[in-house]
Chains A and B, each alone.
Chain A
Amino acid sequence: MIMVTGIGWWRREASGCLLSSKESKETGQGVFSSQFKNFGRLDRDSKAAAYAVALALKDASMDYPLAPGLTAGICGGGPEGCLGADLLYFRDYVDCGRTLGRGNYFIYTLPTSPLAECAIHFGLEGPVLYAAGAPSPLAGPLECAMNAIGDAQADAMLAGFVSDDGAVFLLLSPPEKAGQKNCLRPEDVMDVMKKRQGANDMTGALGLLDNMIKERGIRTAV
């Protein structure tokens, strides 16, 4: 059985863990339980994704590197994809006379780049995929993550999205692998994200998740 065992979200002004009701007090690298190598060179979306993933794992009370034998992957999306990184790279290339691109900008022009940065830091050896499309930026990654676990591609998956105002990631894992007991059925989350209005951005998706937790009465303090 696979459940949503952790939900982490990050914005410039605040961040938190939804299932354990924790507001995150840590800022910057303090969110990570081990040093994030070369964090300063990451682009904006990669930093946002990394914070949210760290908080999702923290929400589930799951340490990383993950326990041996537990393979996890990551599936993400986003309303803007990597448009910001594309513009940054190509404008810089043009401004520099169209002679040499900047490699450190180019590597973030793949929509999977933030996910790959997370895979490297958190030791995620399962699938790394960008899956986007209507009806909401969370629905595609969530479905993709559920299918990956169903196909035995991973034991656990992170699913989420990055947008202009932050990132949210959900951890799907066997509940017994998480250190806390609050969880949601991924099918219920999918249903909400597909059918309810307002799931198209970070604020809307977080609001829907929060309401869902309140309605079902499973949000408890750890």
Chain B
Amino acid sequence: MSTAQQALIVSSDMITPYGRGAGAAWDGLMAGRSAISDIGRFPTGAFKASNAGIIDGLEYRGEKSLVMQMLERLLEGVAVPPDTRLYLATTKGEIDLLERAVLEGGSEKDAALSRPEVLLARLREMLSIEGDGTVVSAACASGASALAMAASDIVSGRAGTALVVACDSVTEFVYSGFSSLMAIDTGQARPFDSDRSGLSVGEAAAYALVTTPQRAAGMDMHDTPVAVTGWGMSSDANHMTGPSRDGRGLWLAIKKAMEMAGAGPDGLGSVSAHGTGTMYNDSMEMKALKLAFGDDNKKPVYSVKGGMGHSMGAAGLVEALLAAVSLREGAVPPTVGVESVDAEATGWVSKEARRISGRGNNKTLTTNSGFGGINAALILESLEAQRA
């Protein structure tokens, strides 16, 4: 991909259960520390589990929704050009407003304030963005899909700057739903562990500003930008809640991303996996990665969800931004929560942090999958020279 066609992430930030910023999350993950804790927001006695990745200091069912409180903190002082193309990635947005309307006998009009289009309009106002903006929802691949759409706008010249904002929160609505599907681990999620038994719900908000090298040249940047050089989106076309058993759907997304980035199986140095901790997702993902790279072409693979939980629509963006940190640091974090790596993932996943070396160490793959069999894959490239 030539420089003129590159889509660069030039500015970003996040709030996760580890705290503010990618640095806080990175440090927590590298230390092998989990930020998953007991839920105090709503009664959990009827559920199989009582913990989640929660952000400190948010008021539940107060004046403002959980994600609005996160976004106000996250976007304070953020300035973007007025012609910026805005993407809001979320699965349930301000669903706690609907909860409150139902619990307090409010009207359907009150409940309708939970629609993500309402949040999109408020974001446009907060950021003084002129265009309409788009809500992107692709289940738990929403954040990654929105980043792909933003990169596409930049590469194609449809926009000069695009802002992706991704968010989701831990609510009684979401928690009771996952609980009804028996998808939650009683402890903390253990992605790729042989004894894994489900996910941990989490919450997060993040943003990424994507632009051209030409526009980036005039911007004040704290970090070396990372380029989004490939993306792929696909569907398993198989089942509403379970992934395809053979991994072919995710592999299709990975294949498209690799072809777009011009990266062969040896051209990628690491993988940030979706790694929810459910039996079927993690198994499906390993099959997809083996289809993409070959059974014996093992890459350092990690999941962050044992540390911060599964932040649903925000996960894809949070993980892409942490993958960018990984490229800069030349390392991948341990998969927090894993004790005994599943046989399918042996040699790929580790409970230890690892250095990335060899060919392709300046490129990384991120993958996300969600309900309905929706998949997304991204390839990020560090603009620093490949390390020896």
- Contact pattern, A 102-145, Cβ under 8 Å of B = 1, otherwise 0: 11001101111101110110111111111111110000100010
Which of B158, B181, B232 is in CB contact (< 8 Å) with A153?
A: B232
Contact B134 A131 (CB under 8 A): yes
Q: Is B173 an interface residue (CB 8 A)?
A: yes
CA A117 to CA B374, docked complex, whole Å: 11
Q: Is A90 an interface residue (CB 8 A)?
A: yes
Query: Closest B-chain residue to A117, C-beta based?
Result: B240
Contact B372 A110 (CB under 8 A): yes
Please choose the segment from B12-20, B114-122, B187-195, B335-343 that sits at the chain A interface, where 4 or more of its residues have CB less than 8 A away.
B114-122
Contact A113 B95 (CB under 8 A): no
Nearest CB on B from A164, distance (A): 12
A86 touching B116 in the complex, CB below 8 Å, given contacts A102-B180, A127-B233: no
Query: Closest A-chain residue to B93, C-beta based?
Result: A81
Note all chain B residues with C-beta closer than 8 A to A113.
240, 371-372
Contact B176 A100 (CB under 8 A): yes
Contact B372 A119 (CB under 8 A): yes
Contact A148 B111 (CB under 8 A): no
Which residues of A in the span 128-179 have a Cβ within 8 Å of any Cβ on B? 128-135, 140, 144, 147-148, 150-153
Nearest CB on B from A95, distance (A): 10
Note all chain B residues with C-beta closer than 8 A to A120.
237-240, 372-373
Which residues of B in the span 107-139 have a Cβ within 8 Å of any Cβ on A? 108, 111-112, 114-117, 120, 132-139
Nearest CB on B from A144, distance (A): 7
Q: Number of A residues whose C-beta is below 8 Å from B?
A: 51
Q: Is B46 an interface residue (CB 8 A)?
A: yes
Which residues of A in the span 15-45 have a Cβ within 8 Å of any Cβ on B? none
Note all chain B residues with C-beta closer than 8 A to A124.
235, 237
Nearest CB on A from B288, distance (A): 14
CA A77 to CA B136, docked complex, whole Å: 10
Contact B46 A99 (CB under 8 A): yes
Contact A132 B117 (CB under 8 A): yes
Note all chain B residues with C-beta closer than 8 A to A93.
173, 176
Q: Number of B residues whose C-beta is below 8 Å from A?
A: 59
Which of A90, A112, A153 is in CB contact (< 8 Å) with B256?
A: A153
CA A83 to CA B98, docked complex, whole Å: 9
- Contact pattern, B 25-62, Cβ under 8 Å of A = 1, otherwise 0: 00000000000000000010010000000000000000
Contact A109 B374 (CB under 8 A): no
Note all chain B residues with C-beta closer than 8 A to A151.
152, 156, 231, 260
Note all chain B residues with C-beta closer than 8 A to A107.
181, 240-241, 371
Majority secondary structure of chain A interface residues (helix, strand, loop or mixed): mixed
Contact B235 A128 (CB under 8 A): yes
Q: Is B145 an interface residue (CB 8 A)?
A: yes
Q: Is A89 an interface residue (CB 8 A)?
A: yes
Query: Closest A-chain residue to B138, C-beta based?
Result: A129
Nearest CB on B from A145, distance (A): 12
Note all chain B residues with C-beta closer than 8 A to A98.
43, 46, 172, 176
Q: Is B357 an interface residue (CB 8 A)?
A: no
Contact A140 B134 (CB under 8 A): yes
- Contact pattern, B 230-253, Cβ under 8 Å of A = 1, otherwise 0: 011111111111000000010010
Identify which of B133, B134, B239 gathers the most chain A CB atoms within 10 Å of its CB: B134
Note all chain A residues with C-beta closer than 8 A to B235.
73, 116, 119, 124-128
Note all chain B residues with C-beta closer than 8 A to A131.
134-136
CA A153 to CA B370, docked complex, whole Å: 18
Which of B103, B108, B139 is in CB contact (< 8 Å) with A110?
A: B139
Nearest CB on A from B365, distance (A): 17
Contact B132 A133 (CB under 8 A): yes
Which of A81, A112, A122 is in CB contact (< 8 Å) with B372?
A: A112
Contact A125 B252 (CB under 8 A): yes
Nearest CB on B from A193, distance (A): 12
CA A148 to CA B153, docked complex, whole Å: 11
Q: Is B177 an interface residue (CB 8 A)?
A: yes
Q: Is B149 an interface residue (CB 8 A)?
A: yes
CA A144 to CA B137, docked complex, whole Å: 12
Q: Is B92 an interface residue (CB 8 A)?
A: yes
Contact A101 B179 (CB under 8 A): yes
CA A207 to CA B43, docked complex, whole Å: 49
Nearest CB on A from B53, distance (A): 20
Contact A110 B91 (CB under 8 A): yes
Note all chain A residues with C-beta closer than 8 A to B238.
120
Contact A110 B137 (CB under 8 A): yes
Contact B112 A116 (CB under 8 A): no
A101 touching B177 in the complex, CB below 8 Å, given contacts A86-B95, A113-B372, A147-B149: yes
- Extra A-B contacts (5), CB below 8 Å, given A116-B139, A120-B239: A86-B95, A90-B173, A101-B177, A112-B137, A125-B234
Which A residues are closer than 8 A to B by beta carbons?
73, 80-81, 83, 86-87, 89-91, 93-94, 98-103, 106-107, 109-113, 115-117, 119-120, 122-135, 140, 144, 147-148, 150-153
- Chosen A-B contacts, 21 in total, with CB atoms closer than 8 Å, are A87-B98, A87-B102, A87-B111, A89-B177, A94-B103, A100-B46, A103-B177, A112-B137, A112-B138, A112-B374, A116-B372, A116-B373, A116-B374, A120-B372, A124-B237, A129-B136, A129-B233, A134-B132, A144-B134, A151-B152, A151-B231
